[in-house]
Chain A
């Protein structure tokens, strides 16, 4: 069940932080420098999971990482230990690609907010907070939830794969295609069994159905 827990947590963190970042970026012009930079960065960081991510965090908070050493030298705080593999650590690491993914997926929804709506709300006497609470919030809710679902599914599937691989032992044994196809390597089937056994199919189906439902609202209001 750790996979669901972790996926849910990183989905929420990624969704909230990503939404805030997307909001911070969308204020400017669509071809402003800030927006392009953040979108380019999001496009890249969302893809470079796995190996690069592991190394990045090794370099930051690993045994000889920048932050580890800095904290040790200046504040006497000892970061070593297995905290990276505990929930907090993993959540921090996963967020590194969940947040960019959220930005990529949620920005179009933010663009769909027409300026007339915020202006109308203002002229009717609303403050930025009431606009958020009564107009932008409800309008963005389906898109937000839908994006969060995607983040959940993404984390879940990434975790499933990782778990399946790690279960083989410390090192990853490459699987030959032929072996997979003929079922010679029992390990191959075991992996699949593990991945599928996590209720993957059910989760996928549910996620996609919910997402489709939410998309209908979004596309009606924000197109």
Chain B
């Protein structure tokens, strides 16, 4: 079977890597067949582009943080106290995948007037929209983290020792789902860095929007930036998943009879 697996990975690896290699090639084309990094260097000199990158990075961080603050306690609570709500929450979290961006934008347009009234015209208000957009992915990542560790037993043990709910969340649950939470956060970062449609519809200049505008003028630079963003996001996700996973999730209790019974592995996103 091994050869089948290798063949699949090889073929698909080629399919996915080819456009990336092509982008690298395109963005480094010089005159007379010589490799030329001028397009890449130009990134550092385009102030508009740099500003857009900054905005996107800020948005990414804000989105990740807000999403985690909202989602992790809620999901833990539902997991521990309201298991019947799980189906509902899961369905809700799937909605953003299914609704077209444009319907989403028009739907929240009236809401947005309140937001801009209070918070001004900054592109950072996109945070709220992005949090909604990342729900499907973040939900799955955090959910797999919650089920992999026996959160219920841990929290009951902590409660019986006298811990308040905030303590339980911060000191018991969070450290044990650290990897899943991290991967959810990174998925948020990837989403923000890659999102174009809504940002452009709402007339904000994020990384992708600026790249699109740039693309009309200078294909090489825009392709260089696109590739850079992609590779950066990937390196970030992979890097943190490798580091975080080094400390394996707590499975301190050996199964009573260590035979074929296997624990459920956590998965879905780098964990």
A residues at B contact (CB < 8 Å) = 17, 20-21, 23-27, 30-31, 33-34, 36-37, 39-41, 43-52, 55-60, 64-67, 96, 99, 104-105, 107-108, 110-112, 114-116, 119, 128, 150, 153-154, 156-158, 160-161, 164-165, 172, 174-178, 180-181, 188, 191-192, 195-196, 200, 204, 207-208, 211-212, 215, 223
Contact = CB atoms under 8 A, between A and B. Distances in A.
B187 A161 contact: no
Contacts of B223: 55, 58-59
Determine which residue in B94, B187, B195, B229 has the highest number of CB atoms from chain A within 10 A of its CB, and name it: B94
Contacts of B23: 55-56, 59-60
A36 B240 CA distance: 10
Interface residues of B, number: 82
B9 A24 contact: yes
Contact of B237 (A25, A34, A40, A195): A40
A43 B8 contact: no
Determine which residue in B98, B270, B271 has the highest number of CB atoms from chain A within 10 A of its CB, and name it: B98
Contact of B99 (A20, A27, A115, A204): A204
Given A44-B233, A172-B200, A207-B98, 18 more contacts: A30-B271, A43-B269, A44-B230, A55-B222, A59-B19, A60-B18, A60-B19, A96-B16, A110-B267, A111-B264, A111-B265, A115-B260, A116-B260, A116-B262, A150-B98, A157-B97, A161-B101, A175-B202
A17 B22 contact: no
B195 A108 contact: no
Contacts of A195: 100, 102-103
Determine which residue in B25, B194, B245 has the highest number of CB atoms from chain A within 10 A of its CB, and name it: B194
A41 B105 contact: no
B87 interface: yes
Interface of B: 1, 4-5, 8-9, 12, 16, 18-23, 25-27, 87, 90-91, 94-95, 97-103, 105-106, 109-110, 112-113, 116, 137, 140, 144, 147, 183, 186-187, 190-191, 193-197, 200-203, 208, 211-212, 215, 219, 222-223, 226, 229-230, 233-234, 237-238, 241-242, 245, 248, 260-262, 264-271
Shortest 7 CB-CB distances between A and B: which pairs? A66-B22, A157-B100, A48-B194, A47-B194, A56-B19, A40-B237, A50-B196
A86 B66 CA distance: 41
A59 B39 CA distance: 14
B269 A208 contact: no
A181 B109 contact: yes
A177 B109 contact: yes
A195 B234 CA distance: 32
B91 A212 contact: yes
A223 B147 CA distance: 9
A36 B94 CA distance: 24
Contacts of A204: 98-99
Contacts of A58: 26, 219, 223
B8 to A, nearest CB: 4
Given A20-B8, A175-B201, A56 B22 contact: yes
A24 B106 contact: no
16 contacts: A24-B5, A25-B9, A26-B267, A30-B266, A37-B238, A40-B241, A43-B186, A45-B16, A49-B196, A52-B194, A65-B22, A104-B269, A115-B260, A157-B103, A161-B102, A211-B91
A64 B26 contact: yes
B113 A181 contact: yes
Given A115-B262, A215-B90, A39 B269 contact: yes
A65 B99 contact: no
Nearest to A128: B1
A113 to B, nearest CB: 10
A47 B195 contact: yes
Contacts of A67: 18, 22
A49 to B, nearest CB: 7
